Amino acid sequence: MSPSTPSASIDGVVAVTLSRRPSFTTTLQSALVFGFGTAVAMWVIFFITHLPSLAIPAQVSFALFILCICGGAFLAARQQAATPGWLAGLAAAIVSALVNVLLLGAFIVKQPPTADPASTIPASGASGLHGESLMSLGGFFIACMALGVISGAIGGMGNALRVSRQHSSSHWLSRFAIINTICFLPLLLIGGLVTTTGSGMSVRGWPDSFGANMFLYPISLMTSHQAVFLEHSHRLFGTFVGLAVVVLTAWVLLAKVGGGIGARVVGLLILVCIQGALGGFRVTENSLFLSMLHGVTGQLTFAAAILVMMLLLPSYHTAATAVADPDARKRKALASALLHSTILQLIMGAAYRHLRHADSPGANHAMWGHMFFSLIVVGAGVMAATFARSRPGDQPHDRLMRHIGIATVACVAMQFLLGWLAFYFVHTGDSKGNIPMPEELATATSLRPTEVIFRTLHQGNGAILLALATMGLVLSKRIWRATLPSTVGPGPATAAAAT
């Protein structure tokens, strides 16, 4: 039998029977999962350790980067039953290195020799690249591959600790969909920091940055001011998310996954492209409206990514055979109420956050609407969570539904608390936080760290609540449809249930 032989195609998901021999396809799929997972961890470490306000030594970030590469390669080897450990680790390390090229450009460019050392203007276009840049890039790849081979070889030792069977293609696709949604989280949080601190206009130009290629803006200039670092990091993380969605789209289309998932993932890609364009035009047009629209559609795009992830999860497909549940219809209705009320709450919150910068009278209307409507969101959240937790059964979809319920009630409680803390710090502060242009950064007023932290946490936790509401609605609707009288009975088996 060949390394991968299709055995069934049910519910739009192709079942694959795999031999114990190494398969290029499965090795690549594993590498994409662990490579992107490693890369997103490294990018988060980069952001935290390079924040100008923290001044963390470079040695710390360097050590953490090495740990990430080694950890990703080690885990990749552990999860590959038929691929040699060193090869699985090498493949994951190469993928992470390729993704990190988007970030590495900032470290391998130099200012032109004639430039003023104190100048904040970068070398135009790609002129900052030089002979040593290619050597640095090559050295980076060699180091990553060496660490991947060594860590993968260690991870491949002791077969008793490795997985007992080779995972199916649908397993790796669902795991990559999870990684794809995780990539959105730091982007949303950094975007929240940009809005809170009024850093949205701190970097002139788009898609360039002060005339330089976006990926070749020097790290020395990037960390010269907190606002510049936040805005430029937001742009870079946006490209990371875009790349992840492109890979997910290509994977789904090449795998010929049915059930309408292909159309939905293409729709997600289109949303991501529109979102990037909105962010760029917000800068070029200096538009407050586009800024607010960008903030709202960013979270809705995240919800779309959650939808795609849910459609690819094994738990979603096992729900096709869900047992009858008298509360299924109520659970679906409450999940829908929570999702739509959360979206309305998101719009009012975004309106307040952005209109406040312009000292607009509409900011107060948005604020009071946001505060009073929060009671409706809390009520819908508690009821939806209660019904989700009451789902009987011990199948994967049953357990996932109960976990969603537990997480939802915790998230709603946290969001309500963070909302009042954010309200307190906003209205006891001295500054509304203007949106300065690059030439105004030196004299711009900074917000208190506590205000920045709690306002951004409130925004970020709101995104998590939106994700949970989306997950709850997608799964509850799937279970409800499966338990309708016309569909009760043995449903189609699905290879996506493989774990």
Q: pLDDT for 68-111, tens place per residue?
A: 999 999 999 998 777 899 999 999 999 999 999 999 999 988 76
| Among candidate residues 200, 12, 14, 13, the one with its CA nearest the CA of residue 4 | 14
The C-alpha torsion from 321 through 326 and 328 to 333, rounded to 10°, is 160
Let me know: does 264 contact 308? Beta carbons within 8 Å. Answer: yes
Amino acid at 149: V
Q: Is the pLDDT of residue 414 over 80?
A: yes
Give the list of residues 6+ apart from residue 381 with CB closer than 8 angstroms, or none: 338, 408, 409, 411, 412, 465, 469
Provide the mean pLDDT of the chain.
Answer: 87
How many helices (H) and strands (E) the chain has is answered by 14, 2
Report the C-alpha gap between 118 and 102 in whole angstroms.
26
| pLDDT tops 50 at residue 489 | no
| CB 35, CB 99: distance < 8 Å | yes
Q: Give the pLDDT mean for 220-233.
A: 93
Q: Which of 131-140, 394-403, 441-450 has the highest mean pLDDT?
A: 394-403
Instruction: Flag whether the pTM goes above 0.85.
Output: yes
Query: So what's the pLDDT on residue 323?
Result: 81
Query: Nearest 5°: phi and psi at 480?
Result: -60, -45
Rg from Cα positions in the chain:
24
If 0-12 CB within 10 Å is exposed, 13-18 middle and 19+ buried, where does residue 486 land? Answer: exposed
Place of tokens 């430039």: 115
CA distance 107 to 130: 12
The pLDDT value recorded for residue 83 is: 83
Closest of 322, 317, 248, 321 to residue 11, by C-alpha:
317
Determine the residue type at 437: M
* Overall average pLDDT of the 278-293 stretch: 94
The reported pLDDT for the residue numbered 488 is 42
pLDDT at 484 over 70: yes
Summarize the confidence of residues 150-155 as an average pLDDT.
94
pLDDT at 345: 97
Give the pLDDT score at 259.
82
Say whether pLDDT at 42 is over 90: yes
Burial zone of 210 (CB within 10 Å; 0-12 exposed, 13-18 middle, 19+ buried)? middle
Tell me whether residue 318 is exposed, middle or buried, using C-beta atoms within 10 angstroms of its C-beta: 0 to 12, 13 to 18, 19 or more: buried
pLDDT of res. 164: 52
- Say whether pLDDT at 162 is over 80: no
Query: Could you tell me which residues are beta bridge partners of residue 209?
Result: 212
Per-residue pLDDT, 499: 36
**CB distance 291 to 195 below 8 Å:** yes
Using alpha carbons, select from 316, 325, 335, 312 the residue that is nearest to residue 470: 335
Q: What dihedral do alpha carbons 261, 262, 267, 270 form, nearest 10°? A: 150
What share of the chain has pLDDT > 90, as a percent? 66
Nearest partner of 43 among 247, 318, 178, 241, judged by Cα: 241
Q: Among 158-162, 186-190, 443-447, which is the least confidently predicted range?
A: 158-162
Calpha distance 72→491 (Å, rounded): 38
Distance CA 444, CA 211 (A): 23
Judged against a pLDDT cut of 90, whether residue 3 lies above it is answered with no
pLDDT for residue 364 is more than 90: no
Who has greater pLDDT, 393 or 34?
34
CA 86 to chain centre: 29
In Å, what is the CA distance from 147 to each residue of 65, 73, 304, 315, 388?
11, 8, 36, 35, 44
Query: What does the angle CA 304 – CA 308 – CA 313 come to, to the nearest 5 degrees?
Result: 140
CA angle 251, 185, 214 (to 5 degrees): 80
pLDDT-wise least confident of 217-221, 227-231, 246-250? 217-221
What contacts 491, CB < 8 A, 6 or more positions away? 320, 321, 482
Question: Could you tell me which residues are beta bridge partners of residue 10?
Answer: 13
Is there a cis peptide before residue 218, judged by omega within 30 degrees of 0? no
Judge whether residue 4 has pLDDT over 60: no
